[in-house]
Amino acid sequence: MLGWRVIPRIGFGDFAISPHGVGIAIGVFVGALVMARRARARGFDENHVWNGATVGVVGAIIGARVAYVVGHLDQFASPAEWLQIWRGGISLIGGLLGAFAAVLIYTKRQKISFFELVDFGAPGLGIGIAVGRIGDLLIGDHLGKQTSFFLGWQYQGGELISPPPCLTPAGEPVYSTANGCIEPGIVVHQTALYDMIWSLAIFGIVMFLGRKPRGVGFLFLSWASLYAVGRIATDFLRVDKTWFGLGLTGSQLTSIAALAICAFFLIRYRGVPQTAREKEEWLETSPDGDLSDLAPVSAAAQAVAATDEELAAEPFNPAAPPPPPKPETEMAPEPPPRPETPADEPEAAVEEIETGSEEEAAVEESDAEAELFEPEESPDPIELLSLGHQAQDSAPDDTEEKEEEDPQT
C-alpha cells in the first residue's frame, strides 16, 4: 500500500508553483526529445518536430480546458470561471485532441505528412504521459473509489486542489465517512498511478513495434488504441460524471470512439490509406508495380525494408559449396598491374625505369636486324627455267675456246 501527504504548491514565500504544471512541462520536454531523436535518426527534419511540439502544447492547453469545462458546466457559476485554469480542472483526453488538431494544422501549412510526424512521437507520447503523471501523484489528483487493492493509495492529509466528490449522482456517499468526503486514512484507487504504469508499458510496446518498418500511421494508431483501452478500464475506478445513462464517463465515450477508428485503419490498412501521390512514388520504386498487398510505408521505412530484403534474398549457408565462377566470355579482362614506386626508394625506382627502357630498345634493335635478313620473295619458276636454257646455250662456246687454247700450250 502506498501513501503520502499531498503537495499542492512548491515555492518560497509568495512565489509558488504547482507540481502538476511542472510534471506536465517535464513530460512534454521528455516526449519531444524522444520524438526528435527518432526523427533525426531517420533523416526527418528535426525542426518540424520542435515546431510541432510547440504548437501542440498551445493546442493541448486550450483543448484540455475546453473539454473539462464542457463536461463540468454545472460546477461553474459564471463564464469568467472557465478561464481560471490555475484553480484546476483539465482533461488529458481533451488536451491530446487539442494538441493533435494544432499539429494537423501545422503539417497542412508546411505540406508534410501528419501521420509520419506523429509516428515519430508515438513512443514519446507514452513516456511523456508517464512522466507527467508524477505531478498528479504529488498533488493527489484523479483519486478514485475506495479500495483494499494492494496498489491502493492512502490519503495522508494535505490540501487537495481537485478533491473527489462526496456524493454520487444518486446521492449516496462516495467514501465511508460521515459526510461521504475523503479524509486522511482513506485508501482509494490512484488512477493516475495506474495510468503512469500503463503508459510506461505502452512506451515499451511501441518501441518494440518500431523496430521493423511499418505502414505510415501504424505506430501512432497503435499507441492511441492501447491508451484508449487503458483509459476505458481505469475510468471505471474513478468518481466522475457519467453520460446518457450508460454509466460511462466522457473520457470513456471518447476513448471508445477513438479505439473503433484506430482498429478499423489498423485492420484494413495496417496504418492509414495512401494518397495518390504516395502510390505513384511507390510505383516508381517497386520492381513489379504490385500494390495488392501494400501497406503505406514511409520513405525511410522503404529504404530499410529494401535493404532487409536484399540481405534475406540469399541466406548464408556455411555447408553449401561456393558458387561456380562466371564463364571467361562474361568476365572482363583484368588490366595489367601498374608498377608501384615507393616514395622512400627513389634510386631503385629510377634504376628500374632505366632497365625497362634498355629492354625496350634491345627489342626494337632485334626487330630491325630481323628485317634485314629476311629472304626475298622466291622467283617465278618460269623465269628460272628460261635462265637455265640461256646458260646451256652459252656453255659449248666456252668449251671450244678452251680446246683451241690447249694445243697451243
CA dist 388 → 184, 370, 391, 392, 394 (Å): 148, 32, 5, 6, 10
Which pLDDT belongs to residue 18?
Answer: 85
CA angle, 339 then 345 then 349, to 5°: 40
What is the rounded CA–CA span in Å between residue 347 and residue 353?
10
**In this structure, what C-alpha cell is assigned to residue 352?**
628500374
Inside any domain, residue 210: yes
Residue span of the structural domain in which 11 resides? 2-163+194-286+294-300
- The four Cα atoms 126, 128, 129, 135 give a dihedral, to 10 degrees, of 150
Contact 256, 232 (CB under 8 A): yes
The C-alpha cell of 383 is what?
623465269
What does the alpha-carbon distance between residue 145 and residue 405 come to, in Å, rounded to a whole number?
A: 164
**Which is nearest to 296 in space by CA: 219, 389, 365?**
219
Residue 92: the pLDDT is: 86
Q: At what angle do helices 191-209 and 218-234 cross, to 10 degrees?
A: 160
- Whether the CB-CB separation of 144 and 174 falls below 8 Å is answered with no
| Residue 357 falls inside a structural domain | no
DSSP 106-125: HHHHHT--HHHHHHHHHHHH
Angstrom distance (rounded) from CA 151 to CA 188: 9
Return the amino acid letter for 116: E
> 173 in helix, strand or coil?
strand
Cell of 193: 498511478
- Find out whether 21 and 141 touch, Cβ atoms under 8 Å: no
CB 62 within 8 A of CB 94: no
Residue 184 gets which letter from DSSP? T
CA distance 164 to 139: 13
CA distances from 335 to 4, 327, 332, 338 (A): 81, 18, 9, 9
pLDDT in tens, the chain (409 residues): 899 999 988 887 778 888 988 999 999 999 999 999 999 998 999 999 999 999 999 999 999 999 888 887 877 878 888 887 777 778 888 999 999 999 999 999 999 999 999 999 999 999 999 999 999 999 999 999 999 999 999 999 999 988 888 988 778 899 999 899 999 999 999 999 999 999 999 999 999 999 988 899 999 999 999 999 999 999 999 988 888 878 898 899 999 999 999 999 999 888 888 665 555 544 444 444 444 444 444 454 555 445 445 544 555 555 555 555 555 544 555 666 655 554 444 444 444 545 555 555 555 555 555 454 445 445 555 555 555 555 555 545 444 444 444 444 3
The answer to whether residue 58 is domain-embedded is yes
Query: 168: which strand partners?
Result: none
Establish if 39 belongs to a structural domain.
yes
Check: CB of residue 94 under 8 Å from CB of residue 68.
Answer: yes
Residue 49 included in any domain: yes
Pairing between β-strand 248-249 and β-strand 242-243 as defined by DSSP bridges: antiparallel
Identify the pLDDT of residue 366.
57
Report if residue 55 sits inside a domain.
Answer: yes
Instruction: Give domain status of residue 62, yes or no.
Output: yes
pLDDT for 58 equals 94
The residues near 20 (Cβ < 8 Å, ≥ 6 apart) are: 88, 135, 136, 138, 139, 141, 161
Q: Are 49 and 32 in contact (CB under 8 A)?
A: yes
Alpha-carbon gap, residue 152 to 182, rounded angstroms: 14
Length of the chain: 409
| Helix (H/G/I), strand (E/B), else coil: 227 | helix
Nearest alpha carbon to residue 189 among 142, 240, 131, 252 = 142
Q: How many domains does the chain have?
A: 1
pLDDT given at position 272: 84
How many C-beta atoms surround the C-beta of residue 77 within 10 A?
A: 7
Q: d(Cα 223, Cα 100) in Å, to the nearest integer? A: 14
Q: Determine, yes or no, domain membership for 177.
A: no
Residue 103: all three cell numbers together: 499539429
